[in-house]
Amino acid sequence: MAEIEAVLFDMDGVLCDSEPFICEAAIKMFNDVHGVEVKEEDFLPFVGTGEDRYLGGVAEQYGVSLQMPEDKVKTYDIYLEIIKGRLPALPGVIDFIEAGRKAGLKLAVNSAADRMKVEGNLREIGVSADQFDAVVTGSDITHKKPHPEGYLTAAEKVGIDPAKCLVVEDAINGIQAGCAAGAMCLGLSTSFEPEKLADAGAAYTGPHLAEVPAELQEKLGLSL
């Protein structure tokens, strides 16, 4: 019997690399709506925290008073146009999901992004929400990462003890959330260096889901 019975995926930086596109959309929103030129690096501390904080943190730095949720919806509208034909699944995602289903693992998505963005991402990368046993978004919870609420909710929805779940994350905040939920964490180095992910609590690291450590594959009952 596999040591891990469920895999809980973050989305951005795990299933797809949407960070450059949401950053591009946010920069355009700040410029179009508020007439303020912000920089890519301004957003880095807020990666993985959900768009309220992602936009709000940068707004605070520039003394901008956001109009929410209007500014967030505007950002998403720009984003959904930007990603058309430009957002593939990251390496290994399709094969990992298929192998996980065949192995009888429960699979869930837990993204800090709102449902509007999550559904748009899944649609663009060609993965159906029906391939997961649960999809938890920032619209479904009160406390965003690094709070564990999202991963605790995902584990509850798939009916598996968090201690028997693997959280797959790319962000420091996400790893901290997974660890706080009591899950084992795999950190993918699409946004942060492996050492920083390990320091945050990741038990395993890798570049993407096409290169999962053999020891972890054994715990999952997979052979990729």
Using alpha carbons, list the distances in angstroms from residue 90 to 13, 21, 56, 96. 8, 14, 28, 11
Q: Is 17 labeled as catalytic in the residue annotation?
A: no
Q: Which of these is catalytic: 12, 71, 114, 170?
A: 12
| 10 tagged catalytic | yes
Burial class of residue 65, CB neighbours in 10 A (0-12, 13-18, 19+): exposed
3-state secondary structure 90-129: CCCHHHHHHHHHHCCCEEEEECCCCHHHHHHHHHHHCCCH
What is the C-alpha to C-alpha distance for residues 180 and 2, in angstroms, rounded to an integer? 22
Per DSSP bridges, beta strands 184-188 and 106-110 are unpaired
Q: Mind telling me the catalytic residues?
A: 10, 12
